[in-house]
Structures are given as structure tokens and as C-alpha cells.
Chain A
Amino acid sequence: MKLFSLVLIACTGLPVAVFSQKDFQKKIQSQMILAEPGAVVELPEGTFTLTNTLSLDGKKKITIRGKGVDKTILSFKGQTDGAEGIRVSDGSDIILEDFTLQDAKGDGIKTMHVIGITFRNIKAEWTGTPGPENGGYAFYPVQCENVLIDHCEAIGASDAGIYVGQSKDIVVKNSKAHHNVAGIEIENSLRADVFDNEAWQNAGGVLVFDLPDLVQKKGGQVKVHHNKIYDNNHVNFAPAGNIVASVPSGTGLMILATKEIEVYQNEILNNQSAGTFILSYMTTGKPIKDKAYDPFPSAILIQDNVYERKSGLPAGINPLVTMLGNKFGENVPHIIFDGIKNPSLLNAGGNWIAGQCISIINNKGQSIANLDAANGFKNIALINESFKCIK
């Protein structure tokens, strides 16, 4: 009847001081397996070392709640099994809140196929010097709907700190991402609202990407506003092969192949390679075999942001920024467009058809360069023409 005593504890929420670390893992895992709709799995105050993923599967209306950031610490430094710290799958209305999660061997918190997933007041981090041996994503909702990430902090991810992939209806707010390769990344996701966040000391602050060969093909309708995106000049420590490994150190915001993006009222400061990149997938140099994939960015508005950078060469050794440095020296323009437009969205005169243009207007300190990527970067040049949409 060992199990029944576990159930009793799960039910009454007795203090856990009596549990050894292995018992703690079993106790919390049992609660997560037995939890009924409406249940709260309480994580007590203290530091707990776990050796295996904690997983929640097939559940509705469950809250997993600690006693606060840096009060409840789940350390996976000694993890021997499982590819993430916490995994939530196939559920709805799940809330994770008020704890710190450290040093997962793979990803920090992965949630997949959850409708209604909230991450609130959680710090997920890799301690120590950021490096390629760190896990990929700190926060990793994928193929989820109604995602809320609020008052979270991501540190040290070797891919993206806050990563939302192949998901729909997303809010990322009041959160911090630093010392990751990418701070916040929205990938192949629809309808994301990213605001009131801070991203600093990443290689790239905020990324909005559409990639080929994925189940959810097309992202877009993403708003990035009222964020502080600054000092993202950290060396890019992503393991080769990952798409973020090709993000130049010194990138504030990068829009890659996505559509219907609004970027407004952000402070995009001192990102030394580019405040904002707008790129097609061709510029990554990777082959495209996915016939359903649209590699071009379109319908993009960049308005009312503040751009600043310190005089100086671009950061890092990425070939793209080396070219920028060669061309512009210490005064690299803030907004870099690779110049590749979707030919099917242009009229006979070579201009965007209505509603599909890239519009860059009324930004403080605005300056734009065209990489001329379609012609082998031969004619990299400042653009003085208007980037206003013509209706």
C-alpha cells in the first residue's frame, strides 16, 4: 500500500522535509501522474536535485506551483535521464509558476500539444559560463495554443531562452532573457504578442523566424512592441547545425521569412551588428527543399522604434557582418534588409502590391541598408528611398 501513502501525501500536502532527494522526485512525479482536474501540485521551498524529467501528461486544469523564484529551486545538474527538466504533453489549462529551474541536460521546460499553457514567474537558467554544452531552450512550448509567458527569466540557453515554436495565440510579456544565444524566438507561430520584455547580452535579442520542413508551416501576425532590446553582443555559442548558430552576434531583432510582422515602440539599443535584420531564408545559404515553404519576409511594419548604436565595428565574425563592417566601417546602419522580395508579391513596376510591403517609418535614428543578397552582395548600399507603403 506504498502508493496509498503517496496518495495521502499528495492529498494533504504534508511537508516534505522527511523526503530524500530521490523520494522527492518520486513524490512529485506521482502527484503529477495522479493529479485530477483542479489539482495544485505544490513544490516546497528549498533546493531539490532531480535526476529525471518531471512529466505531466494527458491532464486538464493542473497547476504546478513553487514558493517563488529562487525559493523553490529544481536543480537538474545531476540529471541522468530524460531530455528536459519538466515536460508537459497532451493537456489543457496547465499553469506552471513560482519556481527556479536550473541546469537541465536538454531543454528546461518543454510543453507540447497543450491548449492553454501558462508560464508565470519562473526562472529557467543554466548556471556558470554560457556555453554550447548548455541545453537548447529554457522555455519551450511547441505545437501549443493559448500560450502565456509572463514574468519569466531565461538565462544561458545554447539556442533560445524563450522559444515558442509551431504554436498559435501567444503572449510573451514582462519577461527577461539574457546570456542566451537568442533571447526570445517566435518560430513558425501564428498570432504572437511580444511586449514589455527585456532582452540583453544575448547574441540575438529577439528572433521572428519561419523555417522549412516543419509540421506547422507558416507563422506570422506577430507584434513586437514596447520591448527593450539592447547590448545583444554576446558571442554566439550555439552548437553548429542549429539555425541560431547563423545569427550574428550583435543582432537586436531578426525577422527571417515571416509575414505580417509589426515592430513598434521598442528601444533597440547598442546591438552592434544590426538593430534589425529583415532577411529571406536564401540569405542563410541553406538549401530549400520544402515546396510548401515561403522563404520571403513580407507585410512588415517597423515604426516608432528608437535605434541607437555606439560607433564601432560590428560584433563577431559572422560573414554577413564582416561584409557590413567592410562596407560601413564603424557606422553600420540600424536596419538591414537583404533586398530579396517575393516576386509574386510585386507589381509590373517591381514594387510591392498593396498590403505586402516592408514599411520602415518614423523610427528615431532610422537608417537602412540593402544587402543586395540576390546579386551576391555586390552592391551593399544605404537606402535613402522611402520605405513607406504605397496604398
Chain B
Amino acid sequence: MNKQAQILPGTLDLLILKAVSLGPLHGYGVLLRIGQISKGALIIEQGALYPALFRLVRQGLLKATWGISENNHRAKYYELTTAGRKRLREEVDGWNRLVAAIGAVLGAQPEEL
């Protein structure tokens, strides 16, 4: 059985925000952290990350600064802005509501209706 799952459309931004909220990361670090937390269950095509990062920067949710990576490469580090933090909270709430609602629907028994 394939344990890996394609991420749902629209959830990439949420995952990036969450990953970055735990501490500044460069792009590759974001991928590593998502992989690490989900224990390799979520796959993101590596290149697809960058358009999403740039979009979030442009929306003012992330800010980027150049720094040096652990093995001495110049890399761009992303961290949450205040707006980003707020957005993350909203998105997480929204997601939890959605999951609860879908879970309720899927868990419904005939006699409950």
C-alpha cells in the first residue's frame, strides 16, 4: 500500500506557513521539515515550492533574507510576518473545521439521520 499522498490543492501554502512558523528556513529546509513532520507521507515536487514561496512573499505573509546554510551555501531564509502568523491561525482554524465537518459526514451512521 502506498503510504505517500499528493497534497490537496490549496494546502501547500498552509503547509509552508506552518513549517516556517517553527523557525526561519530556506526553501529546501521547508521541504525537509514538511517531509520530516509528515514522516515522508506528503510529497511536494521540489520546484513547485518556489512559485508558492514567491507568492507568499508578495502577499506579505513571509519575509525573506539572505543567509548562509549549514553547509556554507548562500540561501534565502523565509520567516513569518505578523500578517503571516495571523493568516496561519485562520487557515489552521479553517482546516480544522473542514476536517471535522468532513469527518462527521464520513463517520455518519444510517440511524443518526
A and B from one complex = no
Interface residues of B, Cβ cutoff 8 Å to A? none
Interface residues of A, Cβ cutoff 8 Å to B? none
